[in-house]
Structure 1
Amino acid sequence: MTHLGNRTSPHSTDGPLVFIEEPNLADDVLRIAASAGVTAELVPDLVAVRRRWLSARTIILDALAAKQCAQALLPFRDGVILIGRGEPEDAIWELASGISADHVVTLPAAETWLTERLRPTRAAAVNAGKIVTVVGGCGGAGASVLATALALTSSRREASTVLIDADPLGSGLDLTLGRESKDDTGAGWADLMAEANPQGSSNIMDVLPRLGDLCLLLWGRERSGSLTGEAMATALDIVTHESQLTIVDLPRYPDEATLVALARSTRTFFVVPASVPATYAAARLAPFLIEHSPAVECVVRGPSPAGLSPHDISRVLELPLAASLKAEPGLAAALERGEPPGARLRGPLATSCQELLTRLDEPGKGRK
């Protein structure tokens, strides 16, 4: 076994993604994964690999599969293992370089190493933090408002909660929270991405800004650049180990960070205004969310100019209806004044957030 690098891989599930063309070798890897206490996901072709390339915790390839991945110019990522039998040939090293593999291993010599490599860590087993992603079905759907109100409602329930702004092109959750003029901004995405070797979750959590008991990972007013999949994976690893619930406000465009967050999510709430144009726009995005998130539910925001019911929209999108948000009088004016959403504890928004948080504890919800 030869090590080619020591980097952090994005986590989505404990089991590896396996793309191996040699049947007997694939059987051995599945057996080793089972002995490590994880379930490997064996995929049949490059199309399936591409869908999970950025979100899988670990990817195991043989030479034929690795060649296909290299020819497809899949982006470099961490956690790739190239596996074979016997002594590796020179061509293997070229393939390893072409896909930026972390390790080249051979069986049966590396079986013990691979078993330990795939075994879930104690931290991962203990961690029970849930991740909720929130996506708007169209521009101005209200996803950021719902994400913020959900996070604030959760923190009021004395649950350790983190709110993440994952949209570098949005107006910013600091604005939604009324914090755009605050001096105590704390650390944010720029600090996390500039840190080549994070020194530990507790250190980073200590310097993130807070609003009461709610921990925040924001962009701040001076935002630049894009959010990488590796940065999102690192952030989620950090905050989920120290929080019970993480709310991620996602953009509508499918960048690497969005794919990682969707794959890691416990639930995706898809916010759709109750209008015909918004429903058409949401119908275009829904299949993408269904493909990449383990469970997707729609949240319909009223009122409806055309009289569409929330159940009508749920049927069109072919998604379960998580909640119907009634219009809250004075909400727009309150946001303009810098008042966080959901502050009216008996208002429609806060009530719906309570229902959604309760729904997270119910098994079998959402569509995949």
Structure 2
Amino acid sequence: MNSLKSLETVNVRCSYDNEYSFKNSVWVLTYLNKLNNKDIIINFELDLACFKPYQPKILEHIEREEFKFKTNLFEVEYDYEEGTSYGFVYEMIKELNPKYLKITPFSSSDAGESHLRQYHSISKLNQNYESVEILGDFIPLYALYRFLQSPNLHTLEFDLQFHFISSIYDNSKFGGDKTEFDFNKMDNFNFRNFINFQGDTIGDGINEDDQIYCSFSDQDNSCIEIPPYSMSLWNQCLKLLSTNSTITNLSITHNCGGECGWDKNSLFNENFLNDFMNSLANNKTIKNLTLDFTLSYYDAETDIINLKKSITSMLDQNTTLESIVIFPTSEFKEISNLTKNTKCKIFT
């Protein structure tokens, strides 16, 4: 590569299979430190499709290495994780410090849906991100909080478990909570230091890497308890969403995983929708917005009515949006006739 004087970009693809495993090839990446031209961009595409992932023993090796090259894009596709077998993904993102992050689940295993249990940790590495695309996987609230604080982020795509947020509003125990939390300090933890909350106890170093409310796989079909700080954290996310001045492209998808016993007649709490849409209405930077409320078993007429009303109200107030895409398209076709907004192109 040093002999290629015009070389500008190197794309590294790593396959995570039993014959040529990623753990056996990571050391080769250290040879990229020997490139004479330190301006060459090294991009990474990790293919972690494997029905039975095993624990790669490479974390310590990665932590010892200081990569001396630049990385723009870090892309990873993964299957169902057993234990913390994908822990090296966080370590590589931490060391490579990419501008563009793209994460996609395969969801091809017999265990059901795939979910990466390290988004909170990844979101804290937010100083260099310009684009974050998490396609088909949900993130916890604390990860949303940190991503929205990214100083250079212009594109953000992710899923949320809206049933979890609606449950916060439905539970009177949290609706009147006026406790002040310092969320900039409360997640002072080291990666892999998972903390499980019991009852109302809040410990030092909140870590939501493993925070799941709705079931997402065939092996997990129940809802966990709501952490006592969740309403306050959601309100902080709404404030950041409302005032964010860097994001121009935003895509948010509802991801409930399994049904886990939620009430189909009240999946989207009306107060939750009003707060959520008000934050979008007040934002002055977002130009392209995608909202996906699609459910394979979508049949709650009350939710459809509330969604139409809240989205229409948001469009009436927002003067910045240039385009909005709303799913499921069959349910929201009439919004273009309901809103007074003539600037924003509406795709349904």
TM-score using structure 1 length = 0.27
**Which of the two has greater helix per residue?**
1
